[in-house]
Structure 1
């Protein structure tokens, strides 16, 4: 309860940090926020041209399939990568005045989430052009987005701590994300992979967030109980671990930044 009160007390500062991150991201950009729409569309066109010929018999409406997975994974990748450097880049401010340190990684995740929301327009456009039906089940789309947001906040808190104490993580995490991309069925159907690889994929939290999002925007159905349960479980575990690790180590940040 004390942490919630503290969070509410500094909500204005958190909002300013999010706005600052967005301004820095699109500073001197001619198209500005429009890139949040164009970037996933352009990437989808390229990947669709490359992979659709391979999977066209297994995956109907491949552009929507690809884009829905791509947007979820891109948000997670961007938000956690930005969170890693948040404490290090805010070191000068942390040393001068009291600021709740969790604001730095959380603001990075929230600014990336704003970009994700803009990217949803891209999915809507592709759905219209490909003729995918829009049903009442589509109204359930906020649920997987909320789950991946909570999961990313937890992971962002963990990664920000690791980056302070182990600078090599800044480089290792890039490699980890590359491997994570291929272990998440973004551009391929899970049916084509061997059983031992499926076991690994089923232990991948992002698999469930992607599947839940695809269920509502592509397959016109609500995610089943197992998918919903796994989404919530991984989100709560990530947030719990993130908060615990962050609060146990934040007092020593000034010694390492």
Structure 2
């Protein structure tokens, strides 16, 4: 373990450069640049709020904030894991030339998405202030669910990046999976409208627990339940363990499959 920590510290400047490169590449030749990290969720919130609040008549107070909180969690997961999935393939030329800890490329994608997550969180605070939603002291606990979603996405990202090097079809299948996952996550709709059998399925989704925890501290002024924290810890540890194990077992064969 000490060797891994020393190795990480040695290559930390490279990780910083990779994160900077990912952000610059994403917003290259864009007039507003990184401001899109704030504008994108705001525009989507406005469109979806108008559509769903009028079409389905959801009886949710401050529905735009409810919707934005769901977008914040799910969009981060989607962006982080999708970007991490192609991290090894995108840096194949560099991997073939010099030795670099290969997980650095995956971490750079996760951390660059984390910067977008923090920007979206800032946008959500501004929206809450603009709509005069009361900010309770529980908002200070928001880092707890955010930490869980980052760890969970990192585990999934490591797993996907390792498998995708060998099986490229995963990239296409995953987009279908994420679409289905979005409907099985209460991003847009309240859990109360679901029939009992479907609610059980939605509750099996790890993102649901993290999202409910986030909404609790941000909107509902409720402390995270111990059971929810324990469940999220187990799920994150399990996914992270699987991701690290598969990545470690496959990393020596990456150069043969790139």
TM-score bracket, shorter-length normalisation: over 0.9
**Which residues of 2 match residues 170-209 of structure 1 at below 5 A?**
170-209=171-210
* 2:22 paired residue number: 21
The question of 1:9 aligning with 2:7 is answered no
How many Å separate the matches in 2 of 1:234 and 1:178?
21
The question of 1:97 aligning with 2:102 is answered no
* 2:163 paired residue number: 162
**Which residues of 2 match residues 98-137 of structure 1 at below 5 A?**
98-137=99-138
Query: Secondary structure in 2 aligned to 1:188?
Result: coil
Paired residues of 2:158 and 2:243 also in contact (CA < 8 A): yes
How many Å separate the matches in 2 of 1:7 and 1:219?
39
Cα-to-partner distance string for 1:132-168 (whole Å, 9 max, x where unaligned): 1111111001111111111111100001011111110
How many Å separate the matches in 1 of 2:58 and 2:203?
23
Structure 1: segments with no counterpart, 5+ residues: none
Q: Which moved more, 1:197-206 or 1:182-191?
A: 197-206
Paired residues of 1:56 and 1:62 also in contact (CA < 8 A): no
* 1:41 paired residue number: 42
**Which residues of 2 match residues 224-235 of structure 1 at below 5 A?**
224-235=225-236
Paired residues of 1:55 and 1:188 also in contact (CA < 8 A): no
CA drift at 1:57 = 5.0
CA drift at 1:8 = 2.3
Paired residues of 1:150 and 1:239 also in contact (CA < 8 A): yes
* 1:210 paired residue number: 211
CA drift at 1:218 = 0.8
CA drift at 1:5 = 2.7
How many Å separate the matches in 1 of 2:58 and 2:13?
50
The two structures, once aligned, show a CA RMSD in angstroms of: 1.1
Cα-to-partner distance string for 1:158-185 (whole Å, 9 max, x where unaligned): 0101111111011000000000000000
How many Å separate the matches in 1 of 2:132 and 2:56?
19
Paired residues of 1:48 and 1:62 also in contact (CA < 8 A): yes
Q: Which moved more, 1:50-59 or 1:199-208?
A: 50-59
Structure 2: segments with no counterpart, 5+ residues: none
Query: Secondary structure in 1 aligned to 2:30?
Result: coil
* 1:145 paired residue number: 146
Query: Secondary structure in 2 aligned to 1:236?
Result: helix
How many Å separate the matches in 2 of 1:57 and 1:166?
42
**Number of residue pairs matched?**
257
Q: Which moved more, 1:138-147 or 1:122-131?
A: 122-131
Paired residues of 2:152 and 2:236 also in contact (CA < 8 A): yes
How many Å separate the matches in 2 of 1:71 and 1:138?
15
The question of 1:77 aligning with 2:71 is answered no
Q: TM-score, normalised by structure 2?
A: 0.97
Paired residues of 1:161 and 1:249 also in contact (CA < 8 A): yes
